[in-house]
Amino acid sequence: MADVGELLMSVLSTIRVPKPGDRVHKDECALSFSSPESEGGLYVCMNSFLGLGSQYVDRHHARTGQKAYLHITRTRKAKEDDGNSGSGHPPKKKPTRLAIGIEGGFDVEQEQYEEDVKVVILPDRQEVTSEDLATMPDVVRERVSLSMAGIMAADSVSHTLQVQQWDGEVRQESKHAADLKQLDNGVKIPPSGWRCEVCDLQENIWMNLTDGKVLCGRRYFDGSGGNNHALLHYQETGYPLAVKLGTITPDGADVYSYDEDDMVLDSKLPEHLAHFGIDMMTMEKTERTMTELEIAVNQRVGEWEVIQESGTTLRPLFGPGLTGMKNLGNSCYLNSVMQVLFTIPDFQSKYVSNIDKIIDEAPSDPTQDFKTQGDQIGIAPQMFKALVGRGHPEFSTNRQQDAQEFLLHFINMVERNCRSGSNPSEAFRFLVEERIVCQQTQKAKYTQRVDYIVQLPVPMDQATNTGEHSFQLQEAERRREEGDSSAPTVRAQIPFTACMAALSEPEILTDFWSSAVQAKTTATKTTRFASFPDHLVIQIKKFTFGLDWVPKKLDVSIDVPDTLDLSGLRATGQQPGEELLPEVAPPPLMTPDVEVKAPVLDDSTVSQLCEMGFPLEACRKAVYYTGNTGIDAAMNWTMSHMDDPDFSAPLVLPGCSSGPGTTPTESLSEEHLATIVSMGFSRDQATKALRATSNVLDRAVDWIFSHLDDLESMDVSEGGRSAAESEGGRDPPPGPRVRDGPGKYELFAFISHMGTSTMCGHYVAHIKKDQQWVIFNDQKVCASEKPPKDLGYLYFYRRVAE
């Protein structure tokens, strides 16, 4: 051991003991999906604490000169069969607690391992065990032992990112509880027989803890529940806390804080209830708590069993392209999307075939590098999830998300990180042509915009089983509410052709401002494909809003075809002899004073949006930017801009120092500029688009595609540089780099959602590989027996070569 001892002594100065704040990657390779359970184990650099798979540790040594690594290997212990190992089956024990990994909650798989740890010295991979250290000099033994113990004791980055236990019933003390204002108005609440003071509803009843008002709660996603009177009362008075009557027991009750927008604890609840004559110690529970309602929602098994193909023995599959991904705590949306993306040749060649070049060019901390983490399609991609979600208000959390929103977010990240070289997101990019015809003059206006997903509406009135479907559905829901597990699943059957017709048919615009007649009139809008992408993504718009703007999921079955011919939806451009609408802007929604004042907005529309819970300034923007054209247009604008960083910022009008279109060039985001330039536009055009949209990237991209005619004639930008100067004397045609070809496609994958909302439930992917459908259910990968193609949410088609 003398030689090894001398080696350790020679590298002792490079061996560090982890300090608080150090990022220790001891569960996952920074360059691949290798882990201590993988063949060869994991090597943790004892200087930088980066984890490296066996295939990459030599390369790291050669690049950094580091020699001392902690080698960690784990062997899975055999566990007894619990009788619930069948693929896709829901847990046998019915959950009684809204939690994961906690007694009474939803089950998670917990593996047990045997662990072996030793120090390895490169380049010859000489091993040093704890027993070997005991024979070495004190200075060596103490430093190395402290480093080993510190690494093993530290919370790994992966562990801090992963939620092994989640308790949805843990609530925080409300900031209003301690000093809650209660009115001395003489109100006394009886122990039973409550009704809403506005609509006489007797279920889902809440009492405001400030004034004792007894009102109904929110309307649920499916239209049941209350009529929002308790919420409206808060919006009128600002009284923040309410208790759900019927849930009060000596142990507590459901208390909601409208101001904090969450279920909360009220440590003074007995006192607050006594103020209105309610003795908490004598109350009995008569209604389901909010937790019980949410558990029931997550236990619906109708589509769950069909989509996961429960009840059949599925044959597990292994090999290249058949690796499952662990659920990191509500990360099934990410798993499903990434499994599909990495079956597409563009993504494979960018992030898999090119892996050696990516690793050679990776920064010193590859865990923060997008290209490197893009290769992490493996067992548990915690680093990848952390990177793609960093800074995003939703994807950085462990909450369930919308797979379609994540797909667009990921495509956006790919766009930003592929400014040079190949860009795999081009596989999805296509141009949409919108033709608007003024019905009074028959003059037309053509605009183009870029898109990545086709969104298909679901025309419920076109269901083929409408006759007795309504009665059957209500009866099935009633039986499920009563706990009848044998209640049949009844869903509306919608022809796919009806969905396509709803997309392609002309849309009537009743409040269109026509530049030809200088007034509002009726127009028709027709949408067509200006180009067909290599890979087409179709979203079935199952998550929608009712007439009262209550969100809901449509439980429908759609006969989605295996092949698709969209050739008939090819855009034709301006027709022979067709006149175009004059390029004249509509009058501004503001007073004509020299000094810009508040815009003239439709107060009723603003109020309706505010009642739905949106911030006031966002509601004012929605009404302003849709030209006072009504609640439908304003609501659509609101839903499309909820992720804007300035969504809740005050409305600033053109002409103000910080208004849209007046952003100085030096304050523009270089990242935004580079993203738009990478799409085929010049820097001057990108600058103009960002200045016109207050430096908001998504809006700038929309703006640029609706002003292509203006950009074609643009000689000198506001920045003072001509297009010729910025592009070396050549004026490239404006527009994105889009691929085009025949509009014929074949289905190769689809992602399905189980549950009643994008914020809960589960996602599963089905992918066609070598003419066989394969189900990817997080870590489980099996041959599919009955792919539920009629229940999908996102469908992926690839072009058929002619």
- Which residue numbers belong to the known binding site for substrate? 206, 218-221, 256, 258, 261
Binding-site annotation, residues for Zn(2+): 196, 199, 216, 229
Contact 151, 49 (CB under 8 A): yes
Instruction: List the structure tokens of 632.
Output: 């439908």
**Residues 6+ away with beta carbon under 8 Å from 770:** none
Binding-site annotation, residues: 196, 199, 206, 216, 218-221, 229, 256, 258, 261
- Residue from 729, 753, 686 nearest 308 by CA: 753
Hunting for tokens 């996602």 — which residue is that? 763
Percentages of the chain per state (helix, strand, coil), in multiples of 5: 30, 20, 50
- Residue from 395, 387, 397 nearest 367 by CA: 387
Q: What separation in angstroms does the CA of 598 have from each of 559, 578, 590, 650, 656?
A: 51, 40, 7, 11, 11
DSSP string of 258-304?
TTTTEEEB-TTHHHHHHTTT--GGG----S--HHHHHHHHHT--HHH
Instruction: List the structure tokens of 236.
Output: 């009128």
Contact 521, 439 (CB under 8 A): yes
Contact 637, 626 (CB under 8 A): yes
**Residues 6+ away with beta carbon under 8 Å from 432:** 448, 449, 450, 451, 527, 528, 529, 530
Contact 606, 625 (CB under 8 A): no
User: Residue by residue, what is the 3-state secondary structure of 23-58?
Assistant: CCCCCCCCCCCCCCCCCCCEEEECCCCCEEECCCHH
Q: Which of 272, 762, 766, 782 is catalytic?
A: 762
Distance from C-alpha of 152 to C-alpha of 780, rounded to nearest angstrom: 29
166-167/126-128 β-pairing? unpaired
Distance from C-alpha of 499 to C-alpha of 274, rounded to nearest angstrom: 56
- Name the amino acid, one letter, at 357: K
Q: Which of 332, 499, 619, 782 is catalytic?
A: 332
- Residue from 233, 234, 255 nearest 243 by CA: 255
Instruction: List the structure tokens of 209.
Output: 């803890």
**Quick check: is 332 catalytic?**
yes
Instruction: List the structure tokens of 593.
Output: 């004073």
Count how many residues are written for the chain: 802
Distance from C-alpha of 700 to C-alpha of 672, rounded to nearest angstrom: 9
Please report the sign of the dihedral spanned by the C-alpha atoms of residue 636, residue 637, residue 641, residue 646: negative
**Quick check: is 762 catalytic?**
yes
Please report the sign of the dihedral spanned by the C-alpha atoms of residue 264, residue 267, residue 273, residue 275: negative
Hunting for tokens 């010193």 — which residue is that? 364
3-state secondary structure of 243: strand
- Name the amino acid, one letter, at 705: F
Verify cis geometry, omega within 30 degrees of 0, for the bond prior to 495.
no
Contact 159, 27 (CB under 8 A): yes
Distance from C-alpha of 123 to C-alpha of 314, rounded to nearest angstrom: 45
Distance from C-alpha of 737 to C-alpha of 346, rounded to nearest angstrom: 15
Task: Please list the active-site residues.
Answer: 332, 762
